[in-house]
Amino acid sequence: MKRVAFTFRIREDKIEEYKQHHKTVWPEMLEALSRNGWHNYTLFIKPNGEVFGYVETPEGLTAANAGMQQEKVNERWQRFMAPFVPEGIKPDQSFVELEEYFHLD
């Protein structure tokens, strides 16, 4: 299992609404994430809208994202999330993967 960290940005004026939507993620979206190798998936947010994401996945973020691109529910979720990210950016395609350089078990 690979540990992956990534960042992306949410509009500051939409942070609270964005967080509320993540309290009730659609069950079919949760199922699609699990089916495509998204395990121990966690999101953190700073007051300026910078999001830090962490996921454990068998093959890495590229493969996990590629699987989600095949899911119809993901297409709907990304349209639903579009107002929360800066204009012209697709939410799931704006992830910047971070390099892991230290780990302590």
Q: Which of 21, 22, 39, 103 is catalytic?
A: 22
Query: Are the beta carbons of 10 and 103 closer than 8 angstroms?
Result: no
Active site residue 22: yes
Select from 89, 69, 19 the least CA-distant residue to 49. Answer: 19
Query: Are the beta carbons of 11 and 84 closer than 8 angstroms?
Result: yes
Q: Which amino acid is at 17?
A: E
The residues carrying an active-site annotation are: 22
